């Protein structure tokens, strides 16, 4: 919602399986007259069937479940399979942004990106202690992010390109 408000010349699509989140977002978008935002309720595993090859400019993954248990690796939104799905739908040079409170997710993703040779543009272990953090990262706070900040948890951020 905040990105759609900040960039009225760009289109934004939220994807989630939980309908309650979309109901609130869609209701607010209608109330505020936002015409550059849409919502798709589906499993994220289908993302490469929702968009054409090279259709998307940028992906934001905000506060995903880190799926810490090893047997849940296939559900991590930054695992190898998901990265390949993102690569398919992203335009050449397209960006992926990961914002999370999970040091595990941050470390896992950095290790995977380094290991697979992807281009890490920016990586930060605490965006609120870095004066160079982009305004989209610190200027927009999700509901969960506000809760984490109140608890004193650092918010991490990675921006990368998939090779």
- Point out the residues that are catalytic: 65
* HEC letters along the chain: CHHHHHCCCCCEEEEECCHHHHHHHHHHHHHHCCCCEEEEECCHHHHHHHCCCCCEEEEEEECCCCCCCHHHHHHCCCCHHHHHHHHHHEEEEEEEEEEECCHHHHHHHHHHHHHHCCEEEEEECCHHHCCCCCHHHHCCCCHHHHHHHHCCCCCEEEEEECC
């Amino acid at each position: 919602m905040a990105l759609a408000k900040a960039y009225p010349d760009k289109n934004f699509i939220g994807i989630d399986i939980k309908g309650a989140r979309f109901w609130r977002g869609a209701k607010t978008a209608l109330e505020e007259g936002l015409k550059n935002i849409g919502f798709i309720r589906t499993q994220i595993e289908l993302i490469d069937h929702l968009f054409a090859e090279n259709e998307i400019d940028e992906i934001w993954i905000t506060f995903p479940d880190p799926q810490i248990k090893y047997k849940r690796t296939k559900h991590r939104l930054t695992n190898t399979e998901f990265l390949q799905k993102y690569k398919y739908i992203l335009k050449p040079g397209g960006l992926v942004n990961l914002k999370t409170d999970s040091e595990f997710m941050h470390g896992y993703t950095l290790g995977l990106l380094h290991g697979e040779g992807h281009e890490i543009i920016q990586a930060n272990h605490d965006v609120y202690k870095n004066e160079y953090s982009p305004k989209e990262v610190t200027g927009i706070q999700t509901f969960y992010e506000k809760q984490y900040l109140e608890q004193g948890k650092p918010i991490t951020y990675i921006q990368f390109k998939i090779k």
